[in-house]
Amino acid sequence: MVQINKDACKGCGICIAMCPVKILVFSDELNSRGVHFPKITQEEKCTKCENCMIYCPDFAVVVKKDEK
Amino acid sequence: MKNTVGHPLKKYFRGEINYTTCSGCGNGIISQSILRAIDEIAIIFDQIAFVSGIGCSGWIPSPSFNTDVLHVTHGRSIAFATGLKLAAPQMKVIVCAGDGDTGAIGGNHFIHAARRNIDLTVVCVNNGIFGMTGGQVAPTTPYNSVTTTTPYGSIERPFDLSNLAIAAGATFVARWTTYHARSLKNSIKKAIEHKGFSFIEVISQCPVQYGKVIGMRNDPVSMLMHYKECAVNINKAKNMSADELKDKIIVGELVEKKNIPELTDEIKRLRREASRK
């Protein structure tokens, strides 16, 4: 399960570029910092590689492996 | 700002995780690599002391990490860390230095710490520019780069910090970029467990100040992909000519030497011998 803390996001887009199955996209909404944060589409395709979490410079993305 | 998703590394932070760095800065990736390395070693976090200097890199441990953190004066992070390690040899000391701390104002402390082989882990965030002060030319800025202080291109050749560390006698040297976050974590893990001076140079993106030098302003994704293309592993680089390696970044664990006397052990031995006389 991929969780995004939208208010910690600074909108750099690294998670979107690093996702190997390209399921992250910029959302149309703005967060409290005034940037477009990422949102998940087609979560069932997620491989749980944790790239989005490892490369997020703002600790805004968390991938939880245990949940079914 | 409250982190609502409960990050697994949250336990290492003082309060909420709130980095004040620019959007897309490499500091956060390096910070996460350091913490994941510590998490995997399963060392008690209170046994680690962090030392950082002035500059963007100084804000990696300070004030976020929930352990002893010394945020010290310009370029003196390795000097403070040397003192800390000698006074408290049981502590693991990790220095989060910038290219200013190791190549510019703190250059002398750096080479002498490497020569003494004191048990420090130095993680050097090399973004190739003085980012916090407005993008001035640094000793690591590539030749012919246009910065705020070199409007016609820099005429000085940059330092190769890893080779400097090797020449000065460091016993563990690795170089990675922020693109290689997983390998970086493994090297930091090795460096923390290594007895002796270990130096890890991380080529990190500064999309605001260095990005405009290479025409990738506010575009951290292009900078990461640029690192991916430029990086050549040390094992592959051994068979390549100098022309092929031009403008490439050689990454990997460059040096690992064992059984070289370490400074705090030497001082203990000296004390024992002196007390016998």
Domain boundaries in chain A? 2-63
How many percent of chain A have pLDDT more than 70?
97
Q: Do the chains contact at A57 and B181, CB–CB below 8 Å?
A: no
Kindly tell me if the per-residue pLDDT of B4 is higher than 70: no
Per-residue tokens: B56: 């963007």
Question: Cβ contacts (< 8 Å) between B220 and chain A: which residues?
Answer: 12-14
What is the ipTM metric for this complex?
Answer: 0.94
Spell out the domain ranges in chain B: 24-276
Q: How large is the average pLDDT for residues A21-31?
A: 95
The radius of gyration of chain A from alpha carbons, rounded to an integer in Å, stands at: 11
Measure A45 CA to nearest chain B CA, in Å. Answer: 21
* B6: closest chain A residue by CA: A62
Distance CA B102, CA B125 (A): 10
Range B243-252 burial, b when 16+ CB lie within 10 A, else e: eeeeeebbbb
Q: Which among A18, A35, A58 has CB closest to B28?
A: A58
Residue A66 above 80 pLDDT? no
Closest-CA residue of chain B to A57: B28
Chain-wide mean pLDDT for chain B? 94
Q: What is the pLDDT of residue A68?
A: 52
pLDDT digits 0-9 by tens, B147-188? 999 999 999 999 999 999 999 999 999 999 999 999 999 999
The pLDDT score that the predictor gives to residue A1 is 85
Q: Does the beta-carbon distance from B24 to A60 stay under 8 Å?
A: no
For the segment B91-103, what is each residue's pLDDT rounded down to a tens digit?
A: 999 999 999 899 9
Residue of B113, B112, B111 lying closest to B121 (CA atoms): B113
The percent of residues above 90 in pLDDT, for chain B, comes to 90
Which of B7, B57, B188 should we substitute to test contact with A (largest number of A Cβ atoms within 10 Å)? B7
B190: distance to nearest CA of chain A, Å? Answer: 19
Query: Which among B91, B92, B49, B100 is positioned nearest to B73, based on CA atoms?
Result: B100
**Does B32 sit within 8 Å of A56, measured CB to CB?**
yes
Model pTM score: 0.95
Which of A14, A15, A36, A49 to mutate to test binding with chain B, by most B CBs within 10 Å of its CB? A14
Q: Which fold has domain B24-276?
A: Rossmann fold (3.40.50)
Angle in degrees, CA B225, B226, B229, rounded to 5: 90
Q: What is the mean pLDDT of residues B253-259?
A: 95
Classify domain A2-63 at the CATH topology level: Alpha-Beta Plaits (3.30.70)
